[in-house]
Copies of this chain bind each other. A is one copy, B any other.
Amino acid sequence: GIAEAALMARIDEHAAIGATAQGGVCRIALTDADRAGRDRLVQWMRDLGLTVRIDRIGNIFGIRPGQLPDAKPVMTGSHIDTVATGGRYDGNYGVLAGLEVVRWLNERQRQTLRPFVVAAFTNEEGVRFMPDMMGSLVHAGGLALDAALDTVATDGARLGDELARIGYAGNMACGALVPHAFVELHIEQGPVLEAEGVTIGAVADLQGISWQEIVVTGQSNHAGTTPMHLRHDAGYCAAAIAVFVRELARRYGGSQVATVGAIDLHPNLINVIAARATLTVDLRNTDEATLKDAEGELADYLRQLETTEGVTIEARTLARFEPVQFDERLVRLVEASAHARGLSHRRMTSGAGHDAQMMARIAPAAMVFVPSARGISHNPKEHTASADLAQGANVLLDVVLGLLDE
């Protein structure tokens, strides 16, 4: 199987790029740190004898030829960008495990019928440039390349300019590599596997994601002299929306989650009623109809707040992805590998968005999850036991080996 020590050495070395004082990684898409992470990955791909291709959205593909060069490749991969408070495994793990599969093949001088491709997709996290999963979305034809290149960052930069600046505006056409199958290995980023003492998650579906930015415009005024009933307090409205979506999620139950992760008030002063609030809402559900209900209830609540608070509220969709069903045959291959290796396993849903959900639009796709300690992710404390990381890579190896020769 995959050598745990070699896998961990790669993960450790790569996590040093953009390492934070808290023990995590900050390698936001298309920053200098992302460039450094990409450079290391590309060097490693070359060291393994892979042919490196970069497409016009900056996705990196390391290609190991097959005996039938015209056969569709088997592809694995994930992303190497992180959130600002990222951990060491989210994304990175799947890409570097893919390299270890290549090493395994190389060490055995193993020839395969199909080419094998390890992919690192641009801007999976969507921190600086919306939407998330951008590289795989463009690859799958779900977003036009020009629109993606024209995306403006939270810091005002244009994505195409940043891509050129860091030297990753490649010339391969987006979507040129259509895989025979896509399998993504990833940490769970949630608490389920650890809580149940299970090592391998065979991911059968993935939640729908609805991201909105809400801008509330009220009227700034003096916090001391303005009676409560005469206020048009954008800060209060932002708070009320955050409380509303929390209660909505509790009321819906099931897979429904709702998060207000970002709030910015203007002028953001202690004794001034806020004139403007900008906040984000992240709603997710495995069921499209229920997710639509949640969006509808939120929209109704915003109209109601406009009336009761005398403010104007604008909501803008930042990203919207329907729930995804993964390929049943691939999910079974994941289960079969775990079973054959004597590893505990279960079918599960992904709460997070992943590149595999975009690849599922153009090819059979599935995912393999390994446990996340205490379910923590997007946090420097993100952790997975190295034995689990190695087992996940072994399952990836098994599944890939079978697919490469079919």
Contact surface of A with B, Cβ cutoff 8 Å = 83-85, 125-127, 132, 188-191, 207, 209, 211, 219-228, 230, 233, 235-236, 238-243, 246, 249-250, 256-265, 267-275, 280, 282, 284, 318, 350-353, 372, 375-379
Contacts and interface: CB of A to CB of B under 8 A. Distances in A.
B222 A352 contact: yes
A257 B223 contact: yes
Contacts of A242: 235-236, 238-240
Contacts of A188: 225
A378 B274 CA distance: 10
A363 to B, nearest CB: 23
A246 B236 contact: yes
A259 B296 CA distance: 29
Given A221-B379, A270-B282, A379-B221, A257 B228 contact: yes
A191 B227 contact: yes
Given A226-B191, A379-B221, A260 B280 contact: no
B378 A272 contact: yes
28 contacts: A84-B267, A85-B269, A189-B225, A191-B230, A209-B224, A211-B270, A211-B271, A219-B379, A221-B376, A222-B375, A222-B378, A223-B259, A223-B282, A224-B351, A225-B351, A225-B352, A225-B377, A228-B246, A233-B246, A239-B239, A239-B260, A239-B263, A240-B242, A259-B271, A259-B273, A261-B273, A269-B378, A272-B378
Most buried by B among A263, A268, A353, A376: A263
A85 B220 contact: yes
Given A207-B224, A222-B352, A224-B189, A126 B257 contact: no
Contacts of A211: 270-271
A262 B257 contact: no
> Oligomeric state, in number of copies?
2
- Secondary structure at the A interface, as helix, strand, loop or mixed, is loop
A261 B257 contact: no
Contacts of A258: 228
A235 B262 CA distance: 8
**Top 5 A-B pairs ranked by shortest CB distance?**
A190-B225, A239-B242, A225-B351, A223-B259, A239-B239
Contacts of A246: 228, 233, 236, 239
Given A223-B261, A271-B83, A228 B250 contact: yes
Nearest to A376: B221
Contacts of A378: 220-223, 269, 271-273
A201 to B, nearest CB: 11
Given A250-B228, A375-B221, A378-B222, A83 B243 contact: no
A269 B262 contact: yes
Given A188-B225, A226-B351, A271 B267 contact: no
B223 A275 contact: no
Most buried by B among A189, A222, A240, A351: A222
Contacts of A230: 191, 375
Most buried by B among A209, A250, A379: A379
B261 A235 contact: yes
Contacts of A243: 236, 239-240, 243
A268 B272 contact: no
Nearest to A212: B270
Contacts of A228: 246, 249-250, 256-258
A291 to B, nearest CB: 12
A83 B132 CA distance: 38
Nearest to A241: B239
Given A227-B191, A272-B378, A235 B221 contact: no
Contacts of A280: 270
